[in-house]
Amino acid sequence: MTDDLGAGGLRFEREGSIGWCYIDRPHARNAFTPAMYQGIKRAVRLVNTDKDLAALIITGTGDVFAPGGDLGGRRDEGDAPTTGSGTDVIPFLDVRDSRAPVISAVNGICQAGGLLVAALSDICVASDRATFRVPELIRGIPDATYAAMLPAHVGIAVARDLLLSARKFDAAEAQRIGLISRVVPHERLRDEALKAAKEILQTPPMARMMVKRMLNERYGTFDYQTMFWALEESDEPREGMRAFMEKRAPSWVPPDMGRL
């Protein structure tokens, strides 16, 4: 397997036994194309199959980690054709279930699919400049991964708050509520991410996977059937995405409430 992840917006670099996956699509603020989602899956597979690699660190460039999928449907030069659909494309459970440790080094804006990658990593190390948001519902998307993952991390009350309000919050709050585990000074982010990877690699792979399996049993049901039905059959996701592209409130927002 080569280090080409099949996505123009991703770079893979090696640093000894550590693989670095850089989300680097500045012209679109690091928004994921379908090829980038599959590229994250390839990066996870690479560190699990290449004998010279032991762990993966995922990070962004500039002031953005990842804001989620590209709602404009754009693709880039270097994007390989995506295969399959639905859960064949999204990488979140691949990140969660990886035998090799996966660390997210969150350098800035982290939302939607970007936050799922970060929160489902073995350890998320966030810059003190990072900001977070779960915006799926304001786009009309009943996201199955968040519905299962968030309550396990933060409890039902906070999960309701973050999902239903879609409000932004900072790194200190993300750590306080248990969504992520480490917040560090921005200039220390790279060193602290490497430190987290080295710490995990002190533990034996088989025992580590057993512990991860038991931890992952705390998640609820991932109801992807309902989510993908809504994406295909409901007009709400289409209206939500149109409203985002047109910089207006979706049609379901009362006129006196305006656009957040």
| Contact of 120 with 149, CB cutoff 8 Å | yes
Q: What is the pTM of this model?
A: 0.94
Helix (H, G, I), strand (E, B), or coil: what is residue 193? helix
Q: Kindly provide the residue ranges of all beta strands, DSSP E only, lying in the chain, ordered along the sequence.
A: 10-15, 18-23, 55-60, 64-66, 102-106, 109-111, 123-127, 131-133, 168-170, 182-184
Q: What is the CA radius of gyration of the chain?
A: 18
Q: What is the dihedral of CA 59, 62, 63, 64, to 10 degrees?
A: -50
Instruction: Tabulate helix, strand, coil % of the chain (nearest 5).
Output: 45, 20, 40
Alpha helices in the chain (DSSP H): 34-49, 92-97, 112-119, 144-154, 156-165, 171-176, 189-200, 205-216, 224-233, 236-246
Bridge partners for 164 per DSSP: none
pLDDT digits (tens, 9 = 90+) for 125-152: 999 999 999 999 999 999 999 999 999 9
End-to-end, the C-alpha distance of the chain in Å comes to 45
Higher pLDDT, 220 or 183: 183
What is the pLDDT at residue 258?
78
Average per-residue pLDDT in the chain?
93
pLDDT greater than 70 at residue 2: no
pLDDT digits (tens, 9 = 90+) for 222-255: 888 889 888 888 999 999 989 988 989 999 899 8
pLDDT class of 80 with cuts at 50, 70, 90: confident
* HSE (side-chain half, CA atoms, 13 Å) at 76: 20
